[in-house]
Amino acid sequence: MKYCIKGGEIVNPAGEYSGVGDLLLDAGQVVAVGQELPVEDAVIIQAEGKMVLPGLIDMHCHLREPGREDEETIASGTRAAVKGGFTAVACMANTNPVADGAVVIEYVLSKARQNGWAKVYPIGAITKGLKGEELAEMGEMAEAGAVAFSDDGKTLTNPAVLRSALEYAALFDRPLLLHEEEPKLADAGVMHEGYWSTVLGLPGIPALAEDVMIARDLLIAEYTGGKVHFCHLSTAKGVGMLAEAKRRGLNVSGEATPHHFTLTDQALENYDTAFRVSPPLRSEEHREALRRGLQDGTIQVIATDHAPHSLEEKHREFALAPTGMIGLETAFSVAWTELVLGGWLTKEQLVEKLSVNPARLLNLPAGRLQPGDLADLIIVDPEWEWVVKPEEIASKSKNSPFIGRKLKARVETVWVNGILKYDGQKFVE
């Protein structure tokens, strides 16, 4: 199908044309981008007042399949992704069985080809079984299609294993995505250690638990020259250390999640388990540091850490409830509301962090609107005001901390490989 999107504001920081104009797509590719494009035999889509963006890319989500299809499947997770404007997602390896070999990587890719709404790029485990002891079959996984490696959900506590992993991953030009939390410092903590943990009487996790691991791993990254990406940064010192490492020329990057740059530990004052996450929501000082890190470019990526859990699991006592929250469907609107309308980022910077930079870090052919490129793009209404409602969530799980929150901007239309997947805020079946 041939489409011409006319009169929208094309926000395209990695492409050659940005500004109000037209975009023509045909046979799965962007054909032309510019002003007053001649059109023949195309479906015309009027986009005046709307924004046309390259498809968003989430480099950190959990699709739960194989193993926990009661919480999410590749079909339901990628459906949620498309609704949120993500045309591609990279899914973590902590499935059951763990994605620590080519068989599971190939399984995920096969299911995505059969049932996926968005593109799926699997991330392989760094160590077998996520046990942190023996390296997984990284070469086989890279050959099978793994775009990165991570033991996310667990920290690599053995520095020798991390060193070997960085040296080995470099052979395949793949980054390591690191979950940073020293388990002995985190101990039995269930929230950020600070004023609110004292008020609520809950055991805390100090920011030090994250900081000490980042410090160690920056030294190892410098020694090996490996490519390190820090998942879900949550501390002020962590942002500062990342900035200093980048100034010294290390091959490092980092991400922040919408919940960490929007919420603080005060959100836990009612013991609502929807706000329990790892790493924990921290104090205002840390939230401010994340926003400044996003603004000055220290933090290059916004990722969701979409982590579905059933309501039965989340309705346990606070300390026994699992950590994690969903985020694919709200990430863009939360970031737009908090960061763009809040004056922290321009719309171009937002597109860089949600599309351009994830594509570059994972070596994906995406992140811009340029003739000849795959037609992964979205139309967003920046003026649309909406309230997050559980009955409208496409994910199988509803554990969102933003339910009931009023947000601005909403994804209206989505193409993946030039195929219309979502239009008028409805799925194209």
Annotated binding site: 60, 62-64, 94, 152, 179, 232, 305, 309
Listed residue (292, 305, 296, 203) closest to 258, CA to CA:
305
Q: Which residue carries 């005060």 as its tokens?
A: 266
Q: Is 389 within 8 Å of 415 (Cβ atoms)?
A: no
**What type of residue sits at position 389?**
K
The reply to whether omega before 13 is within 30° of 0 (cis) is: no
User: Cα(156)–Cα(123) distance, rounded to whole angstroms?
Assistant: 16
Annotated binding site for substrate: 62-64, 94, 309
Residue 428 in tokens: 């194209």
**What type of residue sits at position 380?**
V
Listed residue (69, 23, 73) closest to 45, CA to CA:
23
The strand order across the sheet containing 86-91 reads 56-61, 86-91, 119-122
H or E element in which residue 59 lies: strand 56-61
User: Cα(207)–Cα(280) distance, rounded to whole angstroms?
Assistant: 9
Annotated binding site for Zn(2+): 60, 62, 152, 179, 232, 305
H or E element in which residue 183 lies: helix 183-186
Q: Is 10 left (phi over 0), alpha (psi -120 to 50) or beta?
A: beta
Q: Is 265 within 8 Å of 197 (Cβ atoms)?
A: yes
**What type of residue sits at position 145?**
G
Q: Is 275 within 8 Å of 263 (Cβ atoms)?
A: yes
Residue 422 in tokens: 């979502």
Strands (E), 115-198: 119-122, 176-178, 191-192
Q: Is 239 within 8 Å of 293 (Cβ atoms)?
A: yes
Q: Is position 211 annotated as part of the catalytic site? A: no
Pairing status of strand 29-34 against strand 19-26 = antiparallel
Listed residue (383, 355, 293, 298) closest to 9, CA to CA:
383
User: Of the listed 22, 100, 217, 305, which one is catalytic?
Assistant: 305
The reply to whether omega before 66 is within 30° of 0 (cis) is: yes
Collapsing DSSP to helix, strand or coil, 352 comes out as: helix
Q: Is 83 within 8 Å of 50 (Cβ atoms)?
A: no
Active-site positions read 305
